[in-house]
Amino acid sequence: MKRQRNREAKTEVKFVLALRRGTCWCIYKMGKSYEDEKILSYNDVVLRRSDLGILSGPYFLNDRIIEFYFSYLASSYPTKDILLVPPSIAFWIMQCPVVESLRDFLEPLHLSEKTLVIFPINNNDDVSLAEGGSHWSLLVYYRNANNFVHHDSLNGMNRVPAKKLYKAVVGYMGMGVSDSASEAEFLECSDSPKQRNGHDCGLYVIAIARVICSWYVDSKNTGLNGLWFSDVKEQVKPSVVAEMRSEILTLIRGLRRHQENHVFEPVAPYPAKADLIQ
């Protein structure tokens, strides 16, 4: 019995270490993987316990977490003018080898009807490698300025994949063949906030996306001109980004509680810090 308890204790220690290191240990209990346990189903996104491990430590964000937060922003700013494209869709657009297939694929997105379109960019160029790549950035199309703006927290590291996506979709942004959006300009935002480590690029992507969505709604209501650059520079500070992991965990915890209690209440886009999910 004592040996059995020791084995169980060692297994538990291994799991804790694996969670902290971001590795993919699979501890099965009653035929189900602990890491694969479903934590939250939100719109079309399913978050699992392994995603909480990523958020709990200083690790590179995966596609699921970014897709979840984009879906949450879309619910927080419910306007047909804004489209937040999931990472998997953005990746497929970049890698699609057949023009005819791309046209059919883009049609349901109704790009020509959107004023603001936000694409997450990943530098993975291997279609056989799920959730590959080593860096995230953000490409934003704004119809009123007729341009694509690339925000990269590592000095333009993702410029090549961002340009690749830009070239793939630019011809589909216009209302018609003669629409000027087909010639929209690509701009690299050199003044975009910069990360201070090798793992927070995904957090900068969602932080900047959040500010831009808020800016768009505010500018639409107040009639302000210009772009969102000053808002991003003022609001996306390293200290703000550093808090986003705990903010997202708090958000997940709140959404999960609402679902469990069958209560529908809006959760603020800027949640306060609270205890993390246990």
List Cβ neighbours of 28 (8 Å cut-off, separation of 6 or more). Answer: 34
Instruction: Out of 63, 150, 200, 201, pick the active-site residue.
Output: 201
Q: What φ, ψ does residue 148 adopt, rounded to 5°?
A: -110, 130
Whether the CB-CB separation of 150 and 139 falls below 8 Å is answered with: yes
Six token digits for residue 122: 């990943």
Backbone angles phi, psi at 264, to 5 degrees: -105, 110
DSSP lists the bridge partners of residue 186 as 148
CA-only gyration radius of the chain, Å: 20
CA nearest to 86, candidates 172, 244, 209? 209
Taking alpha carbons only, the member of 87, 82, 264, 244 closest to residue 165 is 87
Q: Please enumerate in sequence order all residues whose Cβ is within 8 A of that of 9, keeping only pairs 6 or more positions apart, or say none.
A: none
Q: Would residue 201 show up in a list of annotated catalytic residues for this protein?
A: yes
213 is annotated as an active-site residue: no
Which candidate in 51, 63, 152, 231 is catalytic?
Answer: 152
Q: Is 65 helix (H, G, I), strand (E, B) or coil?
A: helix
Query: How far is the C-alpha of 109 from the C-alpha of 221, rounded, in Å?
Result: 25
152 catalytic residue (yes or no): yes
Angle at 210 between CA 275 and CA 159, to 5 degrees: 120
Asked if residues 248 and 240 have their Cβ atoms less than 8 Å apart, the reply is no
Helices (H), the chain: 2-21, 49-56, 63-76, 87-95, 99-106, 159-169, 201-222, 229-235, 238-260
| Catalytic residue ranges | 135, 152, 201
